[in-house]
Amino acid sequence: AGMGKVVELSKALSWLLRHAVVKEGLQFQADGYVFVDDILRHPSFTKYTIDDFHECVEKNEKKRFGLKTDEITGKEMIRAHQGHSIQDLDIDMREITDPQEFPTVLHGTYRKHWSSICNKGLSKMGRKHIHFAPGLPKGAGVVSGMRASADLYIYIDMEKALNDGLKFFVSSNNVILSPGNENGCIPTRYFRLV
């Protein structure tokens, strides 16, 4: 398939797997996986083939998706590794306990949000977690965990945040995720100057 079709499929899968499986009436497992066959039958996906799915997973620049074979049925399943708004999911993520493991943890955002972020801290907004990258994108490339279009980077003092009991996790595609405090926020006192 052409790159245009692959990117279009990546966007459609991000929408479905992160936000819409419930409202679209699709079955999903607690770990976020959905049967590929069920998706191929969905009206928005009938133009795609199983090969398009494989290509989309492999070529994805942020390694957004993962495939597995269901042990019971032997059928292929797909999930998004992070970025969900659906609440009833329990995706295996490793907790970060050593602040030295990720010396640089940053959130990519936009200057237009800065005054609001200063008031409330960084918020998970509509998602389950606030997203962070373990470093800046290399060269002109992209890094999982932040948007390439970000024009403001907020660095986190991991030592201070972990000491104060804030939780951070790493997803299978190396995105750093935090549910924030009881308000779903990382307060500004955990930001650091670089």
Residues near ligand HQG (CB under 6 A): 14, 62, 64, 83, 109-110, 113, 116-117, 120, 122-123, 125-127, 131, 145-147, 175
**Per-position b or e across 167-191, b if 16+ CB within 10 A of its CB:** bbbbbbbbbbbbbbbeebbbeeebb
For residue 168, give Cα distances in angstroms to 91, 122, 161: 14, 14, 9
Position with the least CB separation from ligand HQG? 109
Bridge partner residues of 107 (DSSP):
154
Q: Are 41 and 34 spatial neighbours (Cβ–Cβ below 8 Å)?
A: no
Q: Which is nearer to ligand HQG, 59 or 110 (CB)?
A: 110
Q: Which is nearer to ligand HQG, 69 or 148 (CB)?
A: 148
For residue 152, give Cα distances in angstroms to 128, 145, 180: 22, 14, 20
Q: Which is nearer to ligand HQG, 50 or 125 (CB)?
A: 125
Query: Could you tell me the smallest distance in angstroms from the CB atom of residue 193 to ligand HQG?
Result: 18
Query: Could you tell me the smallest distance in angstroms from the CB atom of residue 98 to ligand HQG?
Result: 22
Query: Could you tell me the smallest distance in angstroms from the CB atom of residue 97 to ligand HQG?
Result: 22
Amino acid at 158: M
Query: Could you tell me the smallest distance in angstroms from the CB atom of residue 119 to ligand HQG?
Result: 7
Q: Which is nearer to ligand HQG, 75 or 120 (CB)?
A: 120
Strand residue runs (E) in 32-112: 34-35, 65-69, 76-80, 94-95, 106-109
Q: Which is nearer to ligand HQG, 32 or 83 (CB)?
A: 83
Query: Could you tell me the smallest distance in angstroms from the CB atom of residue 17 to ligand HQG?
Result: 11
